[in-house]
Amino acid sequence: MDIATLIGIIAGMGVIVGAIVMGGNLGAFVDVPSIMVVFGGTTAATLIKFPMRDVMKSLKTGISIAFKNPKEDPQSIYDKAMELSALVRKNGLLGLESVEIENEVMKRGIRMCVDGHNSDVIRSSISSEVAKSIQRDELGEVMFRGIGDTAPAFGMIGTLVGLVQMLANLSDPDAIGPAMAIAMLTTFYGAVLANLIALPIADKLALKVEQLRNTKELIVESVVQIQASQSPLVMKEILGPYLPGGIPADTDDEGSA
């Protein structure tokens, strides 16, 4: 689990609630009509922007990526690719028949290698699968960014509604202060929803989707190079740039140093 996302949200809410409690009454910041305008309006706008079939799926995917670390680790993919490359150089592609591979995309690609497909067919097939997977992940980012863009707007709409209601009762001076406070709450709710939750999650999704794209491209390139029976040295030069630290140093060189 990516605990940083959870810590960030809890810490942000804690700071806001703490500041409210230290400066006054927490109950004064709870207003049901304002909550309805911001959260209800944002939900309605999201349903208008995106097809119904994509909304729940994208939210689920987005939340899963934001709160969980990717299962696919570039280093483990690289190590497995180097292991399979050495095996192919020794026993040929048929030597991969009984090899256990956890990653499903890599497993499918290696199966195509064993079945005798050429590199163009293999690259096209698994690249298409990777592209569709990334597209689904990107939709979650787009949806959260849309929520972040919409929430402040509905906060302002709620404030305008509150101001109109306040101006309609100017004959009662005692009601102006409380009415103004309630009118401002919708802006507060919209700002918190956008800047503490929706937009930071969208930014984290963008970062993680880019990491996932890099890892999946590493898988595609690994399978293609394994099919070509590349030497470990060439494999290292081709696959190394996909790793977070770049091309790994030779173990032998490190030892002799």
| Predicted local confidence at residue 129, as pLDDT | 81
Query: Could you tell me the sign of the dihedral formed by the alpha carbons of 78, 84, 90, 92, in that order?
Result: negative
| Predicted local confidence at residue 199, as pLDDT | 92
Whose tokens are 């689990």? That residue is: 1
Give CA–CA dist 224/228, Å, rounded: 6
| Predicted local confidence at residue 253, as pLDDT | 42
| Burial class of 29 by CB neighbour count within 10 A (0 to 12, 13 to 18, 19+) | middle
| Predicted local confidence at residue 65, as pLDDT | 80
Give CA–CA dist 175/115, Å, rounded: 79
| Predicted local confidence at residue 254, as pLDDT | 39
What's the pTM? 0.79
| Predicted local confidence at residue 153, as pLDDT | 92
Tokens of 234: 């060439």
Q: Digits of tens for pLDDT over the chain (257 positions)?
A: 778 888 998 999 999 999 888 877 788 788 888 888 899 999 999 888 888 888 888 888 778 887 877 777 888 888 888 888 888 888 887 878 778 888 888 888 888 888 888 888 888 888 888 888 888 888 888 889 999 999 999 999 888 888 887 787 777 777 677 777 777 888 999 999 999 999 999 998 888 888 888 888 898 888 888 888 888 888 888 888 888 877 765 544 433 33
What's the half-sphere exposure (Cβ side, CA atoms, 13 Å) at 67? 10
The string of DSSP letters for 39-78 reads IIHHHHHHHHHS-HHHHHHHHHHHHHHHHS--S--HHHHH
In contact, 218 and 242? CB cutoff 8 Å: yes
Helix-helix angle 104-114:119-167, to 10 degrees: 160
Give exposure, 178-210, as e/b (b: 16+ Cβ within 10 Å).
Answer: ebeebbbbbbbbbebbbebbbbbbbebbbebbe
Give CA–CA dist 63/227, Å, rounded: 36
| Predicted local confidence at residue 256, as pLDDT | 37
The closest of 58, 56, 108, 59 to 226, measured between CA atoms, is 108
